[in-house]
Amino acid sequence: MNICASCNSDSVVFGKTKIKVGREIFETKAEHCEKCGHVAIGPQLQAEIDKWALGFSKSIVELQPYFSEAMLNRVTDLARMFNLSKSEFMKVCTVFFLLRLTRNENFKTLRTEVIRRAQAKYQGKREKVCVPIKYQLFKKVDLYTRVWKLEYEANVMEEAVQFCVAILDHRAQIEETKRQRAALINFVRSHAMAS
């Protein structure tokens, strides 16, 4: 028997096991710990999980970000402006943030400054919202969480929404923020037309 990387017991066996992926369960044969249930997911097993999870047309993961009431009110107003639900608007902001903004050479500085501005403007007691997402978006969120060493996947959506709301609200003096604001408006509009 091998030693479990999670609980350090010598209870690792090969056999049928279940892996929770969001709200769904992936069943397979793999090495797993009989004591704690930990499954070491290598590249081959990850590829099997990805193939299986990408086959779902429904959302199988639910992020639970926290926002202040003021931020949620602003998100609701902006979502209405683009004819989207609050949840759809948050997902579009997250996709824009991950696919467009993270590639910007000034991203780290821009991210820090803009999110700081949003947090200062939209203060108050925070409440949890539930936003179901599909596996493909979850994979990107998970990667960003690990790269930026965030505590939870929901933190990515929190940052993305705060960033997007701030650049939509702010008639920027920074030229880069002006460009990103225009790009975000076009991105959200094109998504709203498609849905």
Residues 186-194, mean pLDDT to the nearest whole number: 75
Residue 45: phi and psi, rounded to 5, are: -65, -40
The confidence score (pLDDT) of residue 150 equals 87
Residue 120: pLDDT band with limits 50, 70, 90 = confident
Residues of the chain above pLDDT 70, percent? 94
Residue 7: phi and psi, rounded to 5, are: -115, 0
On average, the pLDDT of the chain sits at: 88
| More confident call, 123 vs 111 | 123
The confidence score (pLDDT) of residue 29 equals 94
What does the chain come to in residues? 195
Domain residue ranges in the chain: 12-54, 61-194
16-69: per-residue pLDDT in tens?
A: 999 998 889 999 999 999 999 999 899 999 999 999 999 998 999 999 999 999
CB 33 within 8 Å of CB 4: yes
Render the burial of 147-178: b for 16+ CB within 10 Å, e for the rest. Answer: eeeeeebbbbbbbbbbbbbbbbebebebebbe
139-189: per-residue pLDDT in tens?
A: 999 888 888 888 889 999 999 999 899 888 876 555 666 777 777 887 887
64-105: per-residue pLDDT in tens?
A: 999 999 999 999 999 999 999 999 999 999 999 998 877 777
| More confident call, 194 vs 77 | 77
